[in-house]
């Protein structure tokens, strides 16, 4: 398992409440939520980014992961009001944890998609 905080959560080394779990992924609340709902969907496999995951993961891992993102949106009651999914990769996106994950954010008006340059 990856030596990141998420690898340690998946292995159980760091305790965390799973909002969702299947054979290939988990979902947890973000420790520093940016909105009333801020969930991280994390594949159990060791992938760094979307590019790594989409090229190296098996078809079933990719299918289960996408289903998990949808399930989280449903479980958290976001379908009617809307939500945003995003994944950070690398320096420009300020990725902090180098174990692939998708943020599912909602529960309020999220504003424009990307902060404009001032």
Q: Which residues would be at the binding site for ligand AMP (CB under 6 A)? A: 5, 28, 30-32, 40, 88, 94-97
Q: Which helix (H) or strand (E) holds 67?
A: helix 59-75
Q: Which helix (H) or strand (E) holds 54?
A: helix 50-56
Q: Is 101 a catalytic residue?
A: yes
Q: Which is nearer to ligand AMP, 40 or 72 (CB)?
A: 40
Q: Which is nearer to ligand AMP, 42 or 78 (CB)?
A: 42
Q: Which is nearer to ligand AMP, 25 or 60 (CB)?
A: 25
What are the b/e assignments for 5-25, b being 16+ CB within 10 Å?
Answer: bbbbbbeeeeeeeebbeeebb
Q: How far is the CB of 43 from ligand AMP (least distance, A)?
A: 14
Q: How far is the CB of 56 from ligand AMP (least distance, A)?
A: 19
Catalytic residue from among 24, 99, 101, 103 = 101
Decide if 37 contacts 45 (C-beta within 8 A): no
Q: How far is the CB of 86 from ligand AMP (least distance, A)?
A: 8
Contacts of 75 (CB under 8 A, 6+ apart): 19, 20
Q: Which residues are catalytic?
A: 101
């Amino acid at each position: 398992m990856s030596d990141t905080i998420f690898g340690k959560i998946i292995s159980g080394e760091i305790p965390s409440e799973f909002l969702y779990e299947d054979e290939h992924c988990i979902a947890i609340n973000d420790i520093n939520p940016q909105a009333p709902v801020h969930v991280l969907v994390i594949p159990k496999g060791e992938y760094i980014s979307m590019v790594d995951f989409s090229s190296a993961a098996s078809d079933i891992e990719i299918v289960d992961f996408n289903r998990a993102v949808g399930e989280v949106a449903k479980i958290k009651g976001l379908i009617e009001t809307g939500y945003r999914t995003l994944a950070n990769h690398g320096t420009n996106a300020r990725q902090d944890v180098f174990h692939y994950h998708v943020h599912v954010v909602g529960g309020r008006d999220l504003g424009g998609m990307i902060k404009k340059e001032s």
